[in-house]
Every structure is written in C-alpha cells, then in structure tokens.
Structure 1
Amino acid sequence: MAAGDEHAASEVLRGVARHLNCLNEDNKATRRRALELIRRDTLDRALSSGVQQEVFSALLQPLLRCLSDPMEKCRETSIAMITEFLRSVPRPEEALPYLMPCLAQRFGEKEVLEPAEELRLSAVEMLVLLVEVCGKNLAPFLSEMIRVLQRSILDPFPDVKRESCRCAVEFAKSVPEHFHLQAESLVNPLMLTVSHQHSRVRVSVIEATGAVIQHGSGKNMDDVLSHLAQRLFDDSPQVRKAVTAVVGDWLLHMRDRYSYFHRLIPLLLSSINDEIPEIRLLAADLWRQVGSQWEKENEDDIKDKMDFLLTPPPHYPPGVERPGLGCRELVVRNLGRLVPAVSHDVTDWLVPTRIRTSQLLSVLLLHAEDHSTQHLQPLLATIYRACSESERDVVRNCLAAAKLLGTFVPPAVFLKLLLEHVTTPSSCSQPWTPLMVLAAVLGGCSGPLLKPHLQQIASTLVQPDVCQEYQQVVYLERLSSCVEMLLHQCESDCGSISLQLLQVLVTVQSLSTDSQLSEKALETVQLLCKVQGLDSVIELYRQHMDQLLDWLSSSVSTWSSFSPQRLQLQVVVVQSGPVIGEFLSQLMPLLCSCLQPNRDPEMRMSIFTMFAKLLLDANNTLDSRGRFCDESEQFLCDVLLPNLVWRAGRTAAAVRTAVLSCVLALLHGQAITPGQLLSLEEKLSPRVLSALDEDSQMSRLFACRSLSAILRLIGTSLHQEALNKIYPELLKRLDDSSEEVRGEALQALDLWLSSLTKDYDLELCSPHLQLLFQQLLLHLDDPDSSVQDRVLDVLKKGSSVHPVLLRREVEAVRDKHRSPVYCDLLLQSFSSPPTS
C-alpha cells in the first residue's frame, strides 16, 4: 500500500472515529445517523481503491455488529454499505474470515433469523456478489455458505428462494472441487421447494438442482429424479423446459452419467412429445448431442456396426426421421431397464403420467427397432394393460407403439405370442385387448411379410372360442378391425382366406346389437369383395355358400336360442339374396333339422320369422331359380304343419304365430303351386282352422288371411265337404274382439261364397247356406256401420248363390232389426240386375 494511500486512509478513519463510537449508543436515531455519516465520509467520497480497501478493513467489524441492530434501518444500511465495499475494493476476499461466519450466524440459524424479508433478500444478493468477486477464495467457507443456502432456499419469500438458487448455481461452478463435499446438504431444501406455487421459483430450483447434482457426488440422483419427473407434467412450459435443459446437461456433462443413462434417458425422451414446439426442439437437439457424444466416446466399440446400422430397415415408418446411431444404441443398451419402468408407470394412478409414459413407449420402440424382439413379451404385457383402460390418449399411444412392433419384429415372432393371447384372453383384464393389439401390430407389418402367415391368422380368428365367445360390442369391433387390417395390408392375397374372413364378418353382424358396427362389418364384406375383384356381395356369397352352409350344418344338432349359429344363418340367407335359391339342397335339410317341434322353441320362432320374410320375396330369394316349389310341399308337411300342433304355453303359442306367418307368406309369395296346395289341403286346412281359436290376435289374423289365400288359390277346386268345414269357423270370428280379425273373416267369407261353383249342391247344402245367411244377417244389425256395410257386401254376393233362401231369411228378420234400412237395401238388390 502506498504511503499516500495509507495517510489518506488514516485521515478518513480519524474523521469517522466519533461516528463509530456512536454506533454503540442506545438511541436508535443516533446509531442510524452515525451509519449515514460514515457512509457519507467513505463510500460517498471519491476514494482510491487502496484507501477503500484500508477503510473497509477497519469498518468491517463495526458494520457486521450492526447486522444485529434492533433497528431495521440500521441493519439495512449496514448490509448496503458492506455490499458496496465488496463491489469496489480490490481484495474483497480479505473480508471473508469475518464476513462469512457473521452471515452464517445471522442468516443461517433459525434462532436469530433476520425478520425482514427485504433484508434477507439483500443478504442473499450480497452472497451472490461474494461468489462473483471472490470465486475460489470462498472454498474455506464452504460450510458457512451451505448453511446459509440451506436456510434461504426454504425462505418464505419467493424472491429469496430464487436468489438463493442462483447463488447455489454460481457457488457450485466457482468451487467444484470442494462443493461436492457438502452438495447433498442442499438436495433436501431444493426438493422441498421444487413444487412451489410460483413457476419462476420452480424454474430456479430446477436449475439449482442441476448444478448441485452436476457438481456433487452423484449419490442423491435418486432423490431428485422422481421430483423432476413430476415437473415434466408442470402446467408452466418454462418449468418443463428447465427440466429438459437440466437433464440434457446431465447426460452430456455429468461425470458419472453412464451409471444413470437408464434413469435420465426417459426424462429427456419424454420431452420430445411435449405440446410446446420450443421444448420439443430443445429435447430433440439435446438428444442428438447426447447420441453424437456417445458415438465419439465409444467409437471403437461400435465400429463394426456403423455400416449396418446406418441403413434404415425395410418398411420404415414413412415421414419419420430415423434417430442417429448413438441415440439408438443408447436406447438398445438400456432397454432392459427401461421396459420395466415404462410397464410400471403406464398404469400409474395419475392420468398425465400414463399419457406421457405411453408416448415414451413409442419413442423407445422407434429407437430400439428390431432389438425390441427380445423384450417382446413384457412389451406386449405392458400394451395389454394400457389398452385395457378408458383413457383414450393412452390407448391411442400404445396402439401406435404396437404398430411399431409390427414394423420391426418378424411376423413369425409376434404372431406366436399374439395369437396365443387372442385364443386365451383370460391373461388380459379385457378379452378384446389382444385383438385390439393384433390389429395395430398387423397395421405396422407389410403385406409380403404377412402373406405366409395369413392362413394361421385367419384360422385363429374364425375359431368359435374367438369369434363367437364374446358378444360385447367393443370385442366385435376389434374382431372386425383385425379383418379390415388384413384386407388393407394384404389385399388380393386375402383371397386364400376369403371364406374364413367372411365367416368372421358374418359372426360379427349376427352378434352385434349396434347398428353402426353392423354397417361397418358390411362395409368390410364389401372390401373383401373388392380386393378379390368381385362385383358384389352376392358374388362373394355365391363363391362360398356351399362351405358356409356346411359350416352351419355341422353344428345344427346342438343349436338353441343362445346359439350364435341361428343368427349367422339369418345373416347368410338375407345378405346372399338370390344366391340362397341356388343351394336349396343344402339349406332345406338344415332348416328341417333345426325346426323340428322338439327343438328349442325360441330358436324355432326366430328362424320361422326370418323364413317368412324370405317367402314374401321368394322370387328374389328362395325361388330365385324356380326350384323352391320342389321343396315347398315337403317343407310344409315336414316342418310347418307339425309346428302348428297345439302345445301349452306362451312360447309355444308364439311359435305357432311365427309358423302361421310362414304359411301365409308361402301362400302369398306363390312359392307353392295350386296343384300342390290342393293335394295338401286336407292336411293344411284343419291346422289353419284350429288356429282361428288361438288366444293370440296375430295368430287369428294370420289364420283368416291364410284361409283367404287358400280360397283365392284353390277355392273353386275344393269339394263341397271341404268348403262346408271352413265357413262355420269363420263365422265364429265375426264375434272376435279384434275389429281387424272380424274384417279379415268377412273377407274370407266373401271369398268362400265366390268359391261356390255349379258343382256345389244347393239343395243338399241349403242348411249350410241357411246357417251362413242367418249368422251374417245377425251382424247386418251390428252397432258399427262399417261392419254393416261389409256384411251387406258379403250378403249381396250370397244373393247370387241362393237368392230365394236369402230373401226368405231377410224377410224373416227384417222387423227384428233395430233399423230395417240394411235389410231393405239387400232386398232391393234382388230386383236389381246383376253387376258384372
């Protein structure tokens, strides 16, 4: 120190000597005034750096004593003066032996903590300044610095927390060779603060954690990783960006990073799917740097792989940039440790964790490529569990991962496991999960690679335990998706398994209770036609109808109301349209077998209802080739009539109603010739007539209509004895509770009268006509005028059959009617000329 500077310093110190004495006064105003005067005579004067250094050394201890002054203003002034001296003196490190212990006592102990948060902030800012100006000279005071930071990081004031984190970062960089000795002491305070409500505080804590771990011993990595992983779900993009930067820095620069690759890689790769583009780009850039650095560090180890691994595998996902060799190798070498962790987190109770983990799975598989084969079983188990939940994003991400498995894993390998799970889904929480995953994996595999395995896949899907065991809509959707995916991937090659695929789609339609799913399955049937170059679905059924009917017939002896085969039969016969008429020789024995009276009644009822619909459009279905007439007589005798025999019970009555609908459809659809009907009349009429007494209104209605159809077809050919058995039963229906049945009975009676030819012996059968006329005349006085009008029309028809008898009967009852109007109208018709 120059003599002049020494003299100047002495002069300054003599000038402030009295003020220094005043710092011990009890009066707080006096102490505050003394500090202000000391400042005026030292810092506010333009002193040389040498003088300032000497003055600071003399004033330091009095100023440090003021840090404990009861008056806040004195403490504030003292901190401000010390800070200014530190910034201006040439050798601030000379103050450390006095300054650091004092700061540690004042700001690092709970018992004497500074109450004013602004002063605590100023103190931490002074610490940051100390790190900047003293650097390595702070090494001997490591304990004091750590003690202050432990306390200040937990400070209630957010700004103090942030400045403390900044101080920790700078201190760690300044004394790295010493910092590691006590770095772990800061981990707990940092982790207690990492979830602070202020995002800027969380960012600062994450950055400080990065420095503490980077320059520490590495023993506390496990203590911080779980907290940082949670911050990847932070609402603040800046927090997520900070985590990404810190993890990337560890992967690049941490001394023991190789030991933690399996823990750090998932964190960095998770950010590659962040919703913020800036974070995604940062993560991708850091990951590329990590991969490139690893390549350089392990160049000798991977030299033999360089050429092979630089060539993308065939059928690589389009539009996806292939990761670098180092990145891929890092994932491959750590995949055994990563898969269990992913498997655990993908079922985490927090939805964001499950979503982020499912995204990570796809990234890992994209890096692992064909190396995922050796981990296929645990990977599939992970995907099964994830796809069994209701969170759509998780399911979508895991299916994308499954598609990558299909791209990189040989079909022979993944099919061995997948098809086993499809046939025995009990190992999964949901039975449709293996089908869902199978469809996704097939979507990632190329058609040429799948071609040799098509028969194996189709044979599995068509197994009854697979396609008929479950009737949930979601299961059937997944089953249909597998077929659709095969068609998209293999197209015309699917011709070899066309029958099995059609059987699966028929089953889906038959079991589905959802109209949209049925429509989707039908669209897939049309796609099956398209890939084979067929013009229509009808052509497809023509190609396979023989095998389809054999397929159904093989189990017909075991059908019941719960059997899916009866529903499959309905889909086949309805969708095949005119084709079914070409295979009657196989269809009719099948129907005769399952419609015997001793078979399940509910099953018979549903099949009879279906058959009635076919008969109504017989020309475009059963009789499309004009061959059904050869089968109809036997079907009527062997199937329909036996099922019309009365049996007790509501179900049996419902079956008879369905059979009557078939009889009516058979007659209306002209699927039976008049000659055949005439030969069967003696067997058919009694069954239909007995149905007129059924409790079911629909059965009585069908019976009346059937009699009308019989009379219309062969009425004029019937013997009078057969005719005379019909009208009495119809007359009973005129008192029916249903107006519709009464109307159909009158229609049938009108046809009955039209059926009387010249061969009908009027004299011999006059009692029958008399009874008919008498009963009709009773209803001519019906309260319902519409019934009276219809009865009048029927009686007018009767006037042409036996006018004398009818006139006599009308005159006999005219005066007994409530109103003679209708009788008079009828009598007038006798004198009117007949209408043509």
Structure 2
Amino acid sequence: MEAGDERGAAEVLRALARHVNCLSEDNKATRRRALEAIRKETFEQRLSSAVLQDVFASLLKPLLKCLLDPTERCREAAVNMITDFLRNVPRPEEALPYFMPTFSQRLAGSELLEPSEELRLAMVQALSLSVEVCGARLAPYLDHMMRILQRTIVDPFPEVKKESCRCAVSFAKCVPDHFHMQSESLVKPLMQTLCHQHFRVRVAAIEATGAVVQYGTGKSVDDVLSHLAQRLFDDSPQVRKGVTQVVGGWLLHLRDRYSYFHKLIPLLLSSLNDQISEIRLLAADLWKQIGAQWENENEEDLKDKLDFPALPPAQYPAGVERPGLGCRELVIRNLSKVLPAVSRDMMDWLASTRVKSAQLLSVLLLHAEDHSTQHLQLLLSTLYRACADSEAGVIHGCLESAKLIGAFVSPEVFLKLLLPHVEDSFAISSSCLAAPLRVLAAVLRGSSGDALRPHLQRIGDSLAHPNVCEESQQPLYLQQLLASVQALLSNCKGDCRTISLQLLQVLVTIQSTAAEPKLQEEVQEAVRTLCTVQSLTRMEELYRQHMDELLSWLSNSLPSWTSYSIQRLQLEVVILQSGPVIGEFLPQLFPLLQASLQPSRDPEMRLQIFILLSKLLLNASNTLDSQGTFSEHLPVFLPELLMPNLVWHAGRTASAIRTAALSCLLALLQGGALTGEQLIAVEEKLTPQVLACLDEDSQLSRLMACRSLAALLSLIGKHLHADTLNKIYPELLKRLDDSSEEVRATALKALGLWLSCLGKDYDTQVYRPHLEFLFQQLLLHMDDPDSHVQDAVLEVLKAGSRVYPALLSREAEAAKDKQRSPVYCDRLLEHIRSSVQDSA
C-alpha cells in the first residue's frame, strides 16, 4: 500500500471512529444515523479500492455485530454495507474468517435468528456474492456454507429458496474438488423444495439438484431420480424443461453416467413426447448429443456397425427420423433393465403415469427395432393389460408400440406368441376380452403383406375359430375383430383370396351380432373390400363362391342351436346378404331349415326362422325362387317345415309360432313361388289346419288365417271340391262376430272370394241348405250398426246373387221386415232384379 493510501485510510478511520462508537449506543436512532454516516464517509466519497479494503477490515467486526441489532433497519443497513464492501474491495476473501461464521450463526443456527424475510434474502444474496467474488477460496468454509444452504433452501420465503438454489449451483461449480464431500446433505432439502407451489421455486430447485448431483457423488442419483420423474408430469412447461436439461446434462457430463444410463435414459426419452414443442426439440437435441458422444467413446466396440451401417427395416414408420447408431445402441443395451420398470408403470394407479409410460414404450421400441424380439413375451403381456385401460392416451401409446412390433419382429415369432392368447382371451383379461385382439390388429397393421403372406392361413383360421369370432358380442370386441380383418385386407390385398372363406365367416359373425349402425356399415365396407381384392364385382359373387362352405359351417353346430345361438343370426345374414344366390343352393339350405324347424326344437328359435322365411317368401323371385326351382322343394317345405308348426299347442310361445307360420304361409301364397297345382296337392292337409287357426286366441293369428284362406281361395278356390268349400264358409262366418274389425273385414272379403269360387260343378240344388244358411247369416250382418260392415256385406251378397238369385231374393224379402233399416235389403233386391233382367 502506498503512503498516500495509508494516510487516506487512517483519515477515513479517524473520521469514522465516532460513528463506530455510536453503533454501541442504546438509542436505535443513534445507531441508525451512525450507519448512515459510515456509508456517506465510505461509498459516497469515492474512495480507492485499497482504502476501502483497509476500511472494510476495520469496519467488518462492528458491521457483523450490527446483524444482531434488534432494529430491522439497522440490520438491513449493515447487510447492505457488507454486500457493497464485498462487491468493491479487491480482496474480499480476507473477510471470510469473520463473515462466514457470523452468517452461519445468523442463518443456520438451531433457531431462526433473523425474523425478516427480506433480510434473510439480502443475507443469502450477500452469500451468493461472496461465492462469485471469492470462488475457490471459499473451500475452507465448506461446512459453514452447507449448513447455511441446508436451512435457506427450505426457508419459508420463496425468494430465499430461489436465491439459495442459485447460490448452491454457483458454490458447487466453484469448489468441485471439495463440494462432493458434503453434497449429499443438500439432497433432502432440495427434494422438499422440489414440490413447492411456485413453479419458479421448483425450477430453481431442479437446477440446483442438477449441480449437486453433477459435482457430488453418484449415490445421490438414486435419491433424486423418483422426484425428478414426478416433475415430468408438472403442469408448468418451465419445470419439465428444467428436468429435461438436468437429465440431459447428467447423461452428457456425469462422471459415473454409464452406471445410470438405464435410469436416466427413460426420463429424457419421455420428454420426446411432451406437449410443448420446445421441450420436445430440446430433448431430441440432447439425445442426439448423448448418442454421438457415446458413439465416439465406444468407437472400437462399434467399428463393424459404423463401417457397415444397417439399413432401416422395410416397414420403418413413414415420416419418422431414424435415431443415430449411438442412440439405438444405448437403448438396446439397457432395454432389459428399462422394460420391466416401464411395464410396472403402465399399471400405475395414476392415469398420467400410465400415459407417459405408454408413450415411452413406443419410443423405446422405435430405437430397439428387431432387438425387441427377445423381449416379446414381456412386451405382449404388458400390451394386453394396458389395452384394457380406460384411458385413451394409454391405448393410443400401446397401439403405436404394437404397430412397431409388427414392423420390426418376424410374423413367425409374434404370431406364435400372440395367436394362442387371441384364441383364449379369458386367460388374459376377463374384464376386457378385446385386448389381445386389439394388439393383434395393431401388429398386423404394422407388418407388411410380404411378411404375412406365408402365415395367412394360420391367421385366418384363428380369426374364424369359434373361440375367437363367437367369443363375445361386446361392441369393442367386435370392433377389434373387424380391425384385424381390415388390417389383413389393407396389407395383403389379393393374397387374402386364400383365406376369403375365413374372413367372410368372421364378417358374417360380426354383422350378425353388431347392434351399432356404424359398425354395420364398416362391416359392409369390409365385405366390399374383400370382393375388390378378389376382383369380384358384386357381393353376391362372393357368397356364391363360398355358399357351400358357409351352409356346411352352419350345419355343423345345428343340433345345439337355440334362440340364443349366434348361428341362427349368422344364417340370417348369409341368406339375406346373398340375395338371389341363395336360390342356387336350396338342396343344401332345406335340410338345415327342416332340422331347425322341427316342433321339438327351441320355440323362440323357430319363431325367428319363420320370420326370416316370411321376408324371403314375400320376395321369392329375388331370393328362394331366383332360379325357379323352389317348387321342387315344396313337398318338403309345406308338410315337413310349415304344417307341423301349425298344430295347436298350449302356451303363448306356441301361439306366436303358429302366427309366424301362418305369416310364412301367407307370404308363400302371395309371393308367387307356389303354383295352383302344387297347392292342390297339399290342400287336403293344409286347409283343416288353417281353419283351426281361425279360432286362435291371438287376433293376429285369426287375421293371418283369414288372409291365408283368402289367398288359398284366390289360387285354387275354383278347383276345390264342393264338400271342401262347404267346410270353409261356416268358419269364416264365425269371424263376422270377431272382436277385431280388421278380422271381420278380412273374413267378409274371404267369403266374397268363396262365393266367386262356386262354379258349374257346385250344384245349388243339392247344396241349397248351405247357401240358404250363408245368405241368412250375411243378411243378419247386413243390419250391423256399423255402416262400413253393412256396405261390405252388401257387396258380398251382390256377388252371391250370381250363384242363386232366387234363393237370395226370397231370403232378402223375408229379412227386410225384420231389420231396423230396409234400405240395404232394397238395394240388394234392386241389384238382383237388374242382374236377372240383364241376363234375360
């Protein structure tokens, strides 16, 4: 120090002597004024750095003593003055022997001595400044610094927490050779601060954790890893970005990083799927650096792979950049340690954890490529469970992983493990039978047609197996079954003709059980696609190609059919969808129908089949009779299928079956598939059963019976024997008293047809009593209170006037005086007279 500086320092100290003495006064105002005066005499006088150094050396102890002052303003002034001295003196480290113990006592004592939050912040800032200006010279004060940071990192004031974390980062970098000895002491307070409600505090704690571990011992990684992993789910992007930077930094610079690759890599790769693009790009950049660095460090080990780089797999996802060799190798070499943990996390109770794990799994498989084959058992079992998750994000991640398995693993391998589980879904998950099918569909989508071609028969047989295609009627299960078929059609196209039958069986099964219109439309589209890949122009051609096999397939299970059997629904789909084609296969169809419609079979099932037959017979020319050969099977259809089900049995179900059978008979009579000659051949057995049905309790049955008789009379009425005709009209007359107006009207119409059937062979003299009785009954009903009935009866009697006009005229005259209104009788008599005159 020069002589001038010495005089200057001495003069300044003499000027400050009185103010320094005032710092011990009891009056707080005096102490405060003294501190203000000291500042004026030092910093406001623009003293040289050398003078400031000497002054600071003399003032340090009094100023440090002021930190115990009961007045906050005095303590604040002292802290600010110490901070200014540290910032401006050339040798601040000379103050450390007094500065550090005092600050340690004040901030890290057994009790919190400094009550003011702002002052604690100022003191920590002064501490940070000391690290900045003193650097490595703080090493002897490691104990003091660590004690302070342990307390201030968990300080109640958020600003103190943040400043303490920054101070810890700076201190770790300044004294790396000594810091590691006590670094673990900061782990616990940092982990407590890591969950603070303010995101900036969490960010600061994450950065401090990175430095503490980086410059500390490797043992701390295990202590902080789970806490950092939780921060990847933080709502704040800054927090997630901080974790990504810290983990990436460890993977690049941690001394013992090779030992922790399997624990750190999953954390960094998880950020590749972050919702913020900045974080994704940061993670990708760090990961590239890590892979390149590892590649350089292990160049000898990778020499062959570097010299002869492997081409990407043929089915590598489009638009996805292939990771570098170093990145792929890092994942491959650590996959056996990472996968079990990922599998466990995919079953976590938190949905966010499961979603993150599912996303991570797809990233790992993208790096592992065909090396995932050796882990396939664990991968598939994980995917089965995860695909039953209720969280859409989990399912999406799993399906992406399954597609990658299909792209990278040989079908021979994954089918060997996957198909047995598809065929036995209950062994995997009784709560979600669709899970194995969902995985299969995704794997098939990821694979290629060339790879799948040799295995198509095996896949088709599995999908068409009853344990698979008939396992469940849940919409989700059916959707995944359809997705598997769609994947095959999309990837294999024309090769699917070898399993066309199996795929059609699956599609028929889905269509027979699917209740949702959208799913039905998707099935129809899949059937059309199946036609297209085989160069078939129409769906009927596809059914023509496989109808023999389909009917045989359905016949195999026929003995066990009930109303709940899926086979009945399959039969309905096959018959309705095939359209005119079914008419070409009546010899195969009729034995199946005959066996299923026996009276001993399940009544509900017979009812449904009769409803199906009614639909077909109403449009017989485009269905059963498309080839004009239906008549050849009538000797079987009527006496063996239809008529046994018209026999009366007690019970509502039996009544419903008779109604359905009558409906089927009516459709047959009206559909044009039955000729008069064929009907005459069975009329003798058929008519009594239909007449018996006129007395059914069911109104619909009586109506169907009336309509059937009317249709029968229209077809063969003129060819019936008089005795047969005379058995019909009395039963129809009874229906004129029916409780249903519709039945009465239909019965009247049938009676009109009956009268029109009386030709020359009907001897009116011989059968006069029958006609007399009929006319009397009709005249009686012509006096009905309902005018519509009166009009209808009048028209019937007008038709009857052509049969025996004299008899009807006499009966009308006799009834005229007995009726409430003779108007209708007068109209009838007038009609008879006009008809007689015209004929004369």
Q: TM-score, normalised by structure 2?
A: 0.98
Question: Any idea what the Cα deviations from partners look like across 1:745-801, whole Å, max 9, x if unmatched?
Answer: 011000000000011111111111111111111211111111111011001111111
Aligned partners of 2:203 and 2:242 also within 8 Å: yes
SS for the counterpart of 1:300 is coil
* 8 Å contact kept, 2:631–2:674: yes
Distance 1:287 1:634 in 2: 77
CA contact (8 A) 1:104 1:145 kept: yes
Tell me how far 1:220 sits from its aligned partner: 1.9
Is 1:218 equivalent to 2:218 in the alignment? yes
**Aligned-pair CA distance for 1:666:** 0.9
Q: CA deviation at 1:372?
A: 0.3
C-alpha deviation, 1:315, in angstroms? 2.1
Aligned to 1:317: 317
Q: Which amino acid aligns with 2:513?
A: L
Per the alignment, in what secondary structure is the counterpart of residue 650 of structure 2?
Answer: coil
Alignment of 1:189-204 (within 5 A): 189-204=189-204
| Partner SS for 1:311 | coil
1:138 & 1:328 partners in 2: Cα distance?
A: 44
632-641 vs 278-287, greater mean Cα deviation: 632-641
CA–CA distance in structure 1, aligned partners of residues 522 and 312 of structure 2? 37
Q: Choose which of 773, 790, 793 in structure 2 pairs with 1:791.
A: 793
Question: CA shift at 1:306, angstroms?
Answer: 2.3
Residue matched to 1:137: 137
For residue 128 of structure 1, report the CA deviation from its aligned partner.
0.9
1-side partners of 2:309 and 2:424: how far apart?
A: 37
Counterpart CA distance in 2 for 1:318 and 1:786 is: 76
Query: Does residue 333 in structure 1 map to residue 329 in structure 2?
Result: no
Specify the alignment match of 1:632 in structure 2: 634
> Structure 1 regions of 5+ residues with no counterpart?
none
Contact kept, 8 Å, 1:310 with 1:325, in 2: the verdict is: no
Partner of 2:460: 458
Which of 445, 463, 466 matches 1:443? 445
Structure 1 residues 196-205 or 61-70, which shifts more? 196-205
Partner of 2:757: 755
Residue identity in the other structure for 2:733:
L
* Corresponding position of 1:433: 435
- Equivalences, count: 836
Deviation at 1:546, TM superposition (A): 1.1
Q: Tell me by how many angstroms 1:469 deviates.
A: 2.1
Alpha-carbon distance, 1:816 to partner: 1.9
CA offsets per residue over residues 311-362 of structure 1, 9 Å max, x none? Answer: 2122211111100000000000110111111111112222222111111111
Q: Which amino acid aligns with 1:491?
A: K
Deviations 1:147-192 (A, max 9, x none): 1111111112211111111101000000011111111111111111
Partners of 2:52 and 2:566 in 1: how far apart? 100
Match of 2:768 among 762, 766, 769: 766
Matched, 1:128 2:128: yes
Give 2:251's aligned residue.
251
Residues 730-750 of structure 1: CA deviation (Å, up to 9, x unaligned): 011111111111111011000
Q: Which residue of 2 aligns with 1:582?
A: 584
CA offset digits 1:176-222 (Å, max 9, x no partner): 11111111111111111112121111111111111011111121212
CA contact (8 A) 1:605 1:658 kept: yes
Tell me the CA shift for residue 229 of structure 1: 1.2
**How many Å apart are 1:448 and its aligned residue?**
0.6
Matches within 5 A, 1:149-188: 149-188=149-188
In the TM superposition, what whole-angstrom CA distance separates every residue of 1:515-546 from its partner, at most 9, and x where no partner exists?
A: 22122112111110000000110000011111
Structure 1 counterpart of 2:638, one-letter code: L
Is 2:377 aligned against 1:381?
no
Following superposition, the deviation at residue 307 of structure 1 comes to: 4.0
Tell me which amino acid in the other structure corresponds to 2:596.
Answer: C
Offset at residue 7 of structure 1 (A): 2.4
Counterpart CA distance in 1 for 2:572 and 2:745 is: 34
**Cα distance per residue 1:642-672 (max 9 Å; x no partner):** 1111111111111111111111111111212
Question: Normalization by structure 1: what TM-score?
Answer: 0.99
Deviation by residue 1:378-411 (Cα, 9 ceiling, x = unmatched): 1111111111011112111110110000000000
Give the structure 2 partner of residue 571 of structure 1: 573
In the TM superposition, what is the alpha-carbon distance from 1:511 to its structure 2 partner?
1.7
1:90-110: per-residue Cα shift (whole Å, max 9, x none)?
Answer: 110010010000000101124
Amino acid at match of 2:821: S
CA contact (8 A) 1:467 1:507 kept: yes
The reply on whether 1:600 has 2:590 as its aligned counterpart is no
Q: Which residue of 1 aligns with 2:832?
A: 830
Report deviation, 1:474: 1.1
8 A contact 1:549–1:586 mirrored in 2: yes
Separation in 1, partners of 2:707, 2:664: 12
1:609 shift after superposition: 0.8
For residue 112 of structure 1, report the CA deviation from its aligned partner: 4.0
Alignment map for 1:659-738 (pairs within 5 Å): 659-738=661-740
CA drift at 1:308: 4.5
- Identity, in percent, stands at 66
CA displacement 1:238-278 (0-9 Å, x = unmatched):
11111111110000000111111111111111111111111
Could you tell me how far 1:43 is from its partner in structure 2? Answer: 2.2
Please show how residues 382-401 of structure 1 align to structure 2 within 5 Å. Answer: 382-401=382-401
- 2:588 and 2:672 map into 1 onto residues whose CA distance is 22
- Conservation of the 8 A alpha-carbon contact between 1:704 and 1:744: yes
Q: Distance in 1 between matches of 2:215 and 2:266?
A: 22
Q: Given that residues 632 and 671 in structure 1 are in contact (C-alpha distance below 8 angstroms), is that contact kept between their aligned partners in structure 2?
A: no
Alpha-carbon shift at residue 290 of structure 1 (Å): 0.2
Q: Give 3-state SS (helix, strand or coil) of 1:192's partner.
A: helix
Q: How does 1:44-193 map to 2 (within 5 A)?
A: 44-193=44-193
Match of residue 648 from structure 2: 646
Does residue 420 of structure 1 match 2:417?
no
2:10 equivalent to 1:6: no
Please give the secondary structure, in 1, of the residue aligned with 2:44. coil
Q: Tell me, in whole angstroms, the C-alpha distance in 2 between the residues paired with 1:634 and 1:250.
A: 85
Secondary structure of 1:726 counterpart: helix
Alignment correspondent of 1:560: 562
What SS class does the counterpart of residue 57 from structure 2 fall into? helix
Give the conservation status (yes or no) of the 8 Å contact 1:105–1:112: no
Q: Write the distance in 2 (CA, Å) between the matches of 1:218 and 1:427.
A: 44
2:146–2:185 Cα contact (<8 Å) kept: yes
> How many Å separate the matches in 2 of 1:228 and 1:46?
49
Question: Over residues 553-609 of structure 1, what are the superposed CA-to-partner deviations in whole Å (9 max), with x where a residue is unaligned?
Answer: 222222121221111111111111111111111111111111111111111111111
Contact 1:780-1:791 at 8 Å conserved across structures:
yes
Q: Quick one: distance in 1 between partners of 2:355 and 2:308?
A: 34
For residues 271 and 545 of structure 2, the distance between their equivalents in structure 1, rounded to whole angstroms, comes to 54
Distance 2:784 2:517 in 1: 48
Q: CA deviation at 1:427?
A: 2.8
Shift in Å, 1:304: 2.1
Q: Is the Cα contact below 8 Å between 2:313 and 2:407 reproduced in 1?
A: no
CA RMSD between the two structures: 1.2
Secondary structure of the structure 2 residue equivalent to 1:822: helix
CA shift, 1:310, in A, is 3.9
Instruction: Report the CA distance shift for 1:592/1:147 in structure 2 as closer, same or farther (over 3 A).
Output: same
Query: Which of 519, 522, 525 is equivalent to 1:523?
Result: 525
8 A Cα contact 1:422 1:435, kept in partner: yes
CA distance, structure 2, for counterparts of residue 582 and residue 313 of structure 1: 49
Letter paired with 2:202: R
User: Do the aligned residues in 2 keep the contact of 1:511 with 1:564 (CA within 8 Å)?
Assistant: yes
- CA displacement at 1:309 relative to structure 2: 4.3
SS in structure 2 of the partner of residue 832 of structure 1:
helix
The alignment partner of 1:42 has SS state of: helix
What secondary structure does 1:725 align onto? helix
The CA deviation at 1:3 is: 2.8
What amino acid is the match of 1:706?
S
Please give the alpha-carbon distance, in whole angstroms, between the structure 1 residues aligned to 2:791 and 2:506: 57
Please give the per-residue CA displacement for 1:280-325, whole angstroms capped at 9, x wherever unaligned. 1110000000000000111111112224544212221111110000
What are structure 2's unaligned runs of at least 5 residues? none
What is the aligned partner in structure 2 of residue 547 from structure 1? Answer: 549
Report if aligned partners of 1:584, 1:622 keep a CA contact under 8 Å in 2: yes
